[in-house]
């Protein structure tokens, strides 16, 4: 039995009657989840899915999505989670790029593969299995133990297919559980997309025997009501969710909630403070990256500064390199963030590159710019590819966004660079304004001038109705 599938079988043995997932009206024990995964595994094997094949699991958040992922692992397939919100061109690109053999979807989105399909019932859901036409003789990767592929978020350019083996997943889950310190007494509110956050979080919850509550929507009232109805103790969400919760005016609290962790991108200070004021609970910042898992957290301490992503969790080391590829040890000096540790990714899918080929002297260069602060505390300054060069001065969009987001009239900001004949680039910003408020450009720029160096102040400020995010919750930095 592959080690990733063993996470579910072990949970079923240890906590057979314990509720593992609540999905609307469904309350499913760990034993029931395992039994359904076994049934689905057998159906997939009967239909020809075998070791070395690539299986896309496509759908919305549900108990069936969890079962489908584990059934794919159990067949020896390399499983690729996909969002049900993908457009046809995106689906076609992924299937062509990855050469996946089959797609198992819950029929909540577009039909990913035209032609004949087999339907399989899982709980109250009917899944559809279709073959893409890729030869059964071809393996999706050269790795015999390959278990999982997911694209990077692609906020600043083309995505890469990140490949992990069962061995790497097992180590990563072990480290993440030790960092999060979850137990079978915990009740987790799930609000993120499983297509982007299944690994490692869902796996950690199952390894811990925790109860997972699938929130049916992202409304603040839904999250708050679910927290109170099920005595939720743990919330792992994106800054967008914390923004919605902080703005809730119902007066309802979440007394049972003990830990609130923000991931996917940096949370603005004003949102973190507003959430803490509203629910009397500090927000913990975590740094997650598909190539490494959860290598940095602020250790669930109230003393850590909001802008930071804390310290390396046990099992990981962090370094910062300068442009000459020398390690930076000076406090406050900005450089390239590098990570090494157990449970790192094994390869990139296309073009095929092993982790050893990608890493620099055993270090993975994350693409983030960062600095060490007091006692080795790590603060992310921005992405290398999104840094704006204003007459030789470095400007990080994230830093300007933090200031703009703290303005009383602004709901959200997206900062970017625009080419300029004299200065190289200038800082531009799109802002989404609160309802019934008219954008006062000079007021906002004056606000920025009080908090930012002159070259960081936006030269162009535009009001927009919407700011586009990737499906993992990050601001989309390129078209």
Most confident of 60-74, 80-94, 269-283: 60-74
- Residue 156 in any domain: the answer is no
- pLDDT at 156 (0 to 100): 40
The residue-averaged pLDDT of 275-289 equals 93
Q: Which residue has the higher pLDDT, 351 or 384?
A: 351
- pLDDT at 393 (0 to 100): 79
Task: Write out the residue range of the structural domain in which residue 214 sits.
Answer: 168-384
Calculate what percentage of the chain has a pLDDT beyond 90.
69
Q: Are residues 380 and 392 part of one domain?
A: no
- Residue 150 in any domain: the answer is no
Q: Which residue has the higher pLDDT, 240 or 101?
A: 101
- pLDDT at 152 (0 to 100): 82
The DSSP code sequence of 380-432 is EEEEGGG-EEETTEEE-HHHHHHHHHTSTTEEEEEEEEEEETTTEEEEEEEEE
Report how many helices (DSSP H) and strands (DSSP E) the chain contains, helices first: 13, 27
The residue-averaged pLDDT of 191-217 equals 95
| Range of lowest pLDDT (55-64, 94-103, 262-271, 291-300) | 262-271
Element at 260 (helix H, strand E): strand 259-262
Q: Are residues 180 and 289 part of one domain?
A: yes
Give the confidence band of 332 by pLDDT, cuts at 50, 70, 90. confident
- Residue 159 in any domain: the answer is no
Q: Residue 211: which of 190, 194, 196 has the closest Cα? A: 190
Q: Are residues 290 and 261 part of one domain?
A: yes
d(CA 361, CA 318): 13
Helix (H, G, I), strand (E, B) or coil at 222: helix
Q: Which residue has the higher pLDDT, 2 or 385?
A: 385
Residue pointed to by tokens 């390129």: 478
Q: How far is CA 468 from the centre of its chain?
A: 16
Phi, psi of 470 (to 5 degrees): -75, 170
Binning the chain into helix, strand and coil, the percentages to the nearest 5 are 30, 30, 40
Q: Spell out the residues 6+ positions from residue 13 whose beta carbon is closer than 8 angstroms to its own.
A: none
Listed residues 354, 384, 414: the one ending a domain: 384
- Residue 404 in any domain: the answer is yes
The residue-averaged pLDDT of 262-282 equals 87
- Residue 425 in any domain: the answer is yes
Most confident of 66-80, 325-339, 413-427: 66-80
- pLDDT at 430 (0 to 100): 95
d(CA 201, CA 181): 12
- Residue 300 in any domain: the answer is yes
pLDDT at 304 over 60: no
Neighbours of 10 (CB within 10 A): 17
Contact, 254 vs 224, CB < 8 A?
Answer: yes
Q: Are residues 405 and 337 part of one domain?
A: no
- pLDDT at 245 (0 to 100): 96
Residue pointed to by tokens 């963030």: 337
Calculate what percentage of the chain has a pLDDT beyond 70.
95
Domains held by the chain: number:
3
pLDDT tens digit sequence for 410-436: 999 999 999 887 788 899 999 999 988
Q: Are residues 176 and 133 part of one domain?
A: no
Listed residues 384, 412, 432: the one ending a domain: 384
Q: Are residues 441 and 337 part of one domain?
A: no
| Range of lowest pLDDT (135-149, 231-245, 366-380) | 366-380
d(CA 143, CA 62): 30
Q: Which residue has the higher pLDDT, 63 or 391?
A: 63
Give the confidence band of 209 by pLDDT, cuts at 50, 70, 90. very high
- pLDDT at 356 (0 to 100): 95
What number of CA atoms fall less than 13 Å from residue 158's CA on the CB side? 8
Q: Are residues 322 and 373 part of one domain?
A: yes
Q: Are residues 397 and 333 part of one domain?
A: no
Residue pointed to by tokens 């019932």: 121
The tokens describing 17, both together, are 């009657």
The residue-averaged pLDDT of 48-52 equals 94
Give the confidence band of 302 by pLDDT, cuts at 50, 70, 90. low
Q: Are residues 104 and 182 part of one domain?
A: no
pLDDT at 198 over 90: yes
Mean predicted lDDT score pLDDT of the chain: 91
Q: Are residues 402 and 369 part of one domain?
A: no
Q: Are residues 249 and 112 part of one domain?
A: no
- pLDDT at 155 (0 to 100): 43
What spatial distance separates the first Cα and last Cα of the chain, rounded to whole Å?
A: 43
pLDDT tens digit sequence for 138-183: 999 999 999 999 988 654 445 689 999 999 999 999 999 999 999 9
pLDDT at 108 over 60: yes
């Amino acid at each position: 039995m592959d080690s990733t599938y063993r996470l579910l079988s072990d949970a079923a043995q240890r906590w057979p009657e314990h509720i593992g997932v609540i999905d609307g009206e469904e309350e499913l024990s760990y034993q029931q989840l395992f039994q359904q995964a076994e049934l689905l595994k057998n159906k997939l094997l009967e239909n020809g899915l075998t070791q070395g094949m690539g299986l896309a699991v496509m759908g919305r958040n549900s108990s069936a999505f969890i079962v489908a992922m584990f059934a794919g692992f159990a067949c020896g397939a390399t499983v690729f989670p996909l969002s049900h919100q993908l457009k046809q061109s995106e689906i076609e690109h992924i299937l062509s790029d990855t050469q996946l053999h089959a797609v198992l979807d819950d029929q909540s989105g577009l039909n990913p593969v035209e032609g004949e399909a087999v339907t399989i019932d899982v709980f109250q859901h009917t899944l559809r299995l279709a073959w893409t036409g890729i030869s059964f003789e071809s393996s999706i990767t050269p790795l015999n133990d390959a278990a999982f592929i997911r694209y990077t978020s692609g906020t600043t350019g083309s995505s890469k297919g990140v490949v992990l083996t069962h061995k790497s997943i097992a180590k990563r889950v072990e480290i993440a559980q030790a960092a999060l310190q979850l137990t079978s007494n915990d009740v987790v509110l799930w609000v993120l997309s499983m297509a982007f956050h299944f690994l490692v979080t869902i796996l950690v919850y199952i390894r811990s025997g925790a109860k997972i509550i699938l929130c049916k929507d992202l409304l603040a009232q839904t999250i708050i009501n679910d927290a109170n109805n099920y005595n939720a103790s743990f919330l792992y969400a994106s800054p967008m969710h914390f923004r919605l919760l902080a703005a809730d005016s119902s007066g309802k609290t979440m007394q049972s909630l003990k830990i609130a962790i923000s991931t996917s991108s940096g949370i603005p200070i004003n949102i973190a403070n507003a959430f803490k004021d509203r629910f009397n609970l500090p927000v913990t910042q975590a740094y997650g990256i598909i190539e490494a898992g959860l290598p940095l957290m602020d250790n669930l301490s109230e003393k850590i500064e909001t802008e930071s992503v804390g310290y390396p969790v046990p099992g990981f080391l962090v370094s910062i390199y300068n442009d000459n590829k020398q390690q930076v040890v000076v406090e406050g000096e900005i450089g390239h963030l590098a990570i090494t540790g157990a449970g790192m990714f094994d390869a990139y899918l296309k073009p095929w590159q092993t982790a050893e080929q990608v890493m620099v002297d055993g270090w993975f260069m994350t693409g983030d710019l960062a600095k060490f602060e007091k006692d080795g505390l790590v603060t992310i300054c921005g992405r290398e590819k999104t840094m704006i060069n204003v007459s030789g001065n470095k400007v990080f969009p994230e830093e300007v966004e933090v200031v703009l987001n703290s303005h009383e009239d602004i709901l959200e900001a997206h900062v970017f660079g625009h080419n300029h004949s004299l200065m190289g680039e200038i800082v531009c910003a799109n802002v989404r304004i609160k309802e019934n408020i008219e954008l006062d450009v000079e007021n906002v720029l004056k606000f920025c001038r009080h908090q930012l160096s002159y070259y960081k102040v936006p030269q162009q400020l535009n009001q927009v109705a919407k700011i586009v995010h990737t499906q993992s919750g990050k601001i989309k930095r390129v078209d």
